[in-house]
Structure 1
């Protein structure tokens, strides 16, 4: 593996920066023990010409979800719940779920929302920031919009529970606030605040000391600036690095998208995954549990289950497990890869993937929105496999 040539990958990424499409990147490829290749290039902030460094801090947004899902499955290993338990068994506000159709008709759900449903986004819940469906006005009326929701985690989920779902639970895939319900359940099962559980049971044991819901003031100079993409180029600033909103206490610890991290830190998480739940003698999760999380839990691939247009990507041949997308038909995605590859993405252009067959993990960290502005993540994946295969 040491002889693999990643020059084409580096050219792809540096061209994106040099053409003013993105400000900068940090990327790395690992075999689970060592970093096989890495690159940091461009700028944390264009205006100040602050260079992108290996230890630059990024908003990882939805790459928070796999950590939250693993926190839940750690509790599953302790016998705290079964995957097909109704959420209402632990959160009574989810009792008597109703389905609201686009024409306004309300019916009682035939199936209760289960833990499995919320882990694999088939509960029928929505997320206004990423959807324009008929539930969005209702959510906004109740100040529910992912990490933009108002109130503490308990009050947010208590307001969410009684609201109708948009389809019969378990029948379709739809991106949603479901992982915030998972975070609240972690609190119920563990009798600990969610952020405390994640820190003490995952982040500290893995040495992820710079993965935070709130960035410490002394690290403000290392925070990347997040940019809008306008007319195919870098545009206005969404969140300036040195004055980032993530330097302030969050409204609540958002299990679906609230963490910030660095390449070094997230690589620890990825290496744990590549080593089947263990890193340097510290076991986070049993190998069998990780296998359960990274198999497909849908009745088909994501495109067949309603995700055809999600985030501007092709979801043919890609299923979804318990917190991760997973390749279930390597010929359908029209990209190189292999069965069983899993991972996820973040709203600001980030992505990570784990290939257990090749024993390879790759991560790309950058900061632009909307992430569907470019096919960068697909091109990133293509270049990695062309170097490996």
Structure 2
């Protein structure tokens, strides 16, 4: 696999026999028709201990799912956007407790929903400004329209808060967000949201550069993530996987084609919250960059202390203690949140194998990664199944991986 050296499992502290359980699990998911195809990559000490792919990337065209298959990583874009934000932070452009309205004045007079209905809602002034740290930790009071759980979600849908539109730009959609009420007071609750897309606009305003260009030129290219972008160019399109969903009878139904897809063209908006495609090798490079505390192959993008701050829980407790989370790409109990990642606080409370300080996140098409600094370990799971809650594959893979770690 490009970007990492292959190592013998035993030399990396793994049982080769136990790693084969991952392979059997992958094959069973495909054989049972739960997934069209998938890949799993396990890295320790900068070397690949396990990298396999099974099944098909495209059922209609019978294209195999391989280790260089390109997938929509959706919310696994968020950690890269957070890195871009922290690069500007290191340049002294802002402080984390600065109000975002210092740079995006449309957020100057925010109000918080207190009641009402879709015709007329009640609100009160926000008690304090939204800070940049609030956006990085999803404690800003913003939300996602797709959750369909609250009146604010409904207002997002009705007012075109969608970062995948073809007839708007990033600034316009962020402006729509700022005109709507917050779901909660800034800093009061953890709520997964469009905050990282707002951060993408912040990067553009502070840097004076289009956000997509900034991410490509300042983060993606220096890290050598050659197949990571906001669209798939024509020459690479045969490597893009189709995206599926589980139908009512538990059969796979096409969600987004591998050829007739919006990802075949550059988007109108570079979504910092969920717009990237990537490969297993590319995302492992990003994981190595985090494990190396901000540097990779002689290229340093962040200082060591900055990465350590990103990997630290910034909540007063876990997600479960911050209100009632409506959706997350992780469990709530025993899990905190840093600057762009979930942070494992207590594996016993989370009821899953892991290490305190481990960071992770996933995408809506069931992709996932986690980075365990205590074990010098990173794992990347790529597949294409919407939604990510359809199957418990992330937790299953976590158990299988840690069970193979013997040294």
TM-score bucket of the superposed structures, by smaller chain: over 0.9
1:192 and 2:205 matched: no
**Greater Cα shift, 342-351 or 329-338:** 329-338
What are the Cα deviations for residues 273-323 of structure 1, in whole angstroms up to 9, with x where unaligned? 111111111111111001111111112101111355525853210000110
Q: Give the 5 Å matches for 1:274-293.
A: 274-293=291-310
* Residue 214 (1) aligns with residue 227 (2): no
**Counterpart of 2:360?**
343
**Counterpart in the other structure of 1:325:** 342
Q: CA deviation at 1:32?
A: 4.8
Where does residue 122 of structure 2 map in the other structure? 105
TM-score (norm 2): 0.92
Q: C-alpha distance in 1, partners of 2:260/2:179?
A: 37
- TM (normalized to structure 1)? 0.96
Q: Deviations over 1:304-357 (max 9, x none)?
A: 113555258532100001100000112111111110000110000000000000
Q: How far is 1:250 from its partner? A: 1.0
Cα distance in structure 2, aligned partners of 1:166 and 1:292: 27
What does the per-residue CA deviation read over 1:117-152, in whole Å, with 9 as the maximum and x for residues that have no partner?
Answer: 111101111111234211122212221034358510
Q: Counterpart of 2:5?
A: none
CA distance in 1, matches of 2:148, 2:211: 26
- Which residue of 256, 259, 262 corresponds with 2:276? 259
Match of 1:73 in 2: 86
Worse-superposed segment, 133-142 or 171-180: 133-142
- Which shifted more, 365-374 or 229-238? 229-238
Between the aligned partners of 1:307 and 1:371, the Cα distance in structure 2 is 19
Maintained 8 Å contact 2:115/2:123: no
Query: Per-residue CA shift, 1:223-260, capped at 9, x if unaligned?
Result: 10100112363422111112222002212000000000
1:388 aligns with 2:405: yes
Distance 2:87 2:196 in 1: 15
1:164 aligns with 2:171: no
Cα distance change of structure 1 residues 118 and 91 upon mapping to structure 2, 3 Å threshold: same
1:58 offset after TM fit, Å? 0.1
**Contact 1:32/1:274, CA 8 A, preserved across alignment:** no
Name 1:37's counterpart in structure 2: 50
Aligned with residue 314 of structure 1, among 312, 331, 351: 331
1:44/1:51 contact within 8 Å kept: yes
Residue aligning to 1:246:
263
Q: How does 1:76-225 map to 2 (within 5 A)?
A: 76-103=89-116, 104-148=121-165, 151-225=168-242
Cα pair 1:84 1:115 within 8 Å, conserved: yes
What corresponds to 2:4 in structure 1? Answer: none
- Separation in 2 of the partners of 1:265 and 1:196? 18
Is contact 2:147-2:326 (8 Å) kept?
A: no
Question: Secondary structure in 1 aligned to 2:221?
Answer: helix
Which residue number corresponds to residue 246 of structure 2?
A: 229
Contact 2:34 2:251 in 1 (8 A): yes
Gaps in structure 1 of 5+ consecutive residues? none
1:13 to 15, 23, 26: 26
User: Taking structure 1 as reference, are residues 256 and 272 closer, same or farther at Cα in structure 2, changes over 3 Å only?
Assistant: same
Q: Given the alignment of the two structures, is residue 58 of structure 1 paired with residue 71 of structure 2, yes or no?
A: yes
- SS, match of residue 285 in structure 1: coil
| CA–CA separation in structure 2 for the residues paired with 1:74 and 1:46 | 41
Task: Answer yes or no: is the 8 Å Cα contact 2:192–2:328 preserved in 1.
Answer: no
Deviation at residue 195 of structure 1 after TM alignment: 1.0
CA distance in 2 between partners of 1:190 and 1:311 (Å): 30
| 1:82-130 alpha-carbon deviations (Å, 9 max, x no partner) | 1111111000100111001244331011111110111110111111123
